[in-house]
């Protein structure tokens, strides 16, 4: 396809939507390359605080903003200053934000999504929400994903991620825009696969955290991650994704980081659940979104719709939404019938 070049010969002017840790890190990263970046923050109080301090002390303290990074809570003005959008808001807020963008103008800017999850109710991936509410041009959509904690990105720790787009032009230009000597960007064409990786790995990370919180040991964690990767792949293939995507940075790479890293919100929630704490208390203390909590429900429903067996995801879903106990879900997994491991 590749009919319309995006930024070839033009200065890029990114608009990053989302003032959480990941949105702030991506805005910081692009501005550090000298690009004129606008970071849109919905909360006016937080926006004013960030603009005054020149850092996001709530979600990413210590990262002093480059001069080229502007903070705004005015979506219309932010949109007018940009020629492409970086989406970094919680998945459940994507539809409302896309509808707001659509209402503000006729032109449709290219979108790079750093959002991970599945919409509750509709069971839509982010690309599908964007297509329904903002732009149906698949050549102007890309997904950026991979093992990348926000704090380490702003510290310029060596990081490798992947960008996927149906358009080679889009993928290559986003690769060029984001790549640095500390932030290595690879490309793929499997948009759906990369989105499923980003959504499901949070659920498996919850499960791994639960296992660690229960003190089940390294054997259990390794088994959960391996079987979790298998069910991520199984669902992806059923939905038309490529199995090889799940063995890359956006699949096993991001799963390993999220399930084992101390900075992982989803792992933290899982550990505390495994210790017997209540979910509302955990989420209140966390103060940020742990996408795996809502994705567990959406992924379970999506698997049922397509007849795909996701035992680890189902166990997390039962624990969070059906009142099952830790003993119940552990027994469900260990009592499963014996089977051949060679699925693909």
- The reply to whether 201 belongs to the active site is yes
Give residue-wise pLDDT tens across range 123-163: 999 999 999 999 999 999 999 999 999 999 999 999 999 99
Please give the pLDDT value at position 337. Answer: 75
Q: What CATH number belongs to 193-334?
A: 1.10.1040.10
Q: Which of 201, 242, 278, 339 is catalytic?
A: 201
pTM for this predicted structure = 0.93
43 CB contacts (<8 Å, ≥6 apart)? 19, 73
Please give the pLDDT value at position 3. Answer: 43
Please give the pLDDT value at position 4. Answer: 46
Percentage of the chain lying above the pLDDT 90 cut? 88
Q: Domain 14-189 is classified in which CATH homologous superfamily? A: NAD(P)-binding Rossmann-like Domain (3.40.50.720)
The yes-or-no verdict on residue 1 having pLDDT over 60 is no
Give residue-wise pLDDT tens across range 211-222: 999 999 999 999
Helices (H), the chain: 21-32, 44-53, 75-80, 94-104, 126-133, 150-154, 168-178, 191-213, 218-238, 254-260, 265-274, 279-286, 291-306, 311-321, 326-334
* Start-end of CATH 1.10.1040.10 domains in the chain: 193-334
Please give the Cα distance from 267 to 228 (Å, whole number). 14
């Amino acid at each position: 396809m590749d009919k319309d070049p995006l930024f070839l010969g033009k200065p890029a002017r990114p608009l990053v939507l989302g003032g959480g840790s990941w949105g702030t890190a991506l805005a910081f990263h692009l501005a550090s390359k000298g690009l004129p970046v606008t970071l849109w923050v919905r909360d006016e109080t937080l926006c004013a605080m960030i603009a005054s301090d020149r850092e996001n002390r709530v979600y990413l303290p210590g990262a002093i903003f480059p001069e080229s990074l502007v903070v705004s809570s005015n979506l219309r003005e932010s949109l007018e200053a940009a020629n492409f959008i970086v989406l970094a808001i919680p998945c459940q807020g994507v539809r409302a934000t896309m509808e707001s963008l659509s209402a503000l103008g006729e032109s449709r800017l290219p979108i790079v999504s750093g959002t991970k999850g599945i919409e509750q109710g509709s069971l839509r991936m982010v690309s599908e929400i964007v297509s329904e509410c903002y732009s149906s041009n698949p050549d102007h959509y890309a997904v950026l994903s991979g093992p990348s904690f926000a704090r380490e990105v702003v510290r310029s720790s060596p990081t490798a991620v992947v960008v996927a787009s149906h358009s080679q032009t889009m993928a290559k230009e986003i690769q060029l825009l984001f790549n640095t000597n500390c932030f290595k960007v690879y490309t793929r064409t499997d948009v759906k696969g990369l989105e499923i990786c980003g959504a499901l790995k949070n659920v498996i990370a919850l499960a791994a955290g639960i296992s660690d919180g229960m003190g089940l040991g390294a054997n259990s964690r390794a088994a959960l991650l391996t079987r979790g990767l298998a069910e991520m792949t199984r669902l992806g293939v059923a939905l038309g994704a490529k199995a090889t995507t799940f063995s890359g940075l956006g699949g096993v790479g991001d799963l390993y980081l999220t399930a084992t890293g101390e900075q992982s919100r989803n792992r933290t929630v899982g550990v505390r659940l495994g210790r017997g704490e209540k979910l509302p208390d955990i989420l209140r203390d966390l103060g940020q979104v742990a996408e795996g909590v809502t994705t567990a429900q959406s992924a379970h429903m999506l698997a049922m719709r397509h007849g795909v067996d996701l035992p680890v995801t189902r166990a997390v879903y039962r624990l969070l939404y059906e009142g099952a106990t830790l003993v119940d879900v552990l027994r469900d997994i260990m009592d499963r019938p014996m089977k051949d491991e060679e699925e693909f």
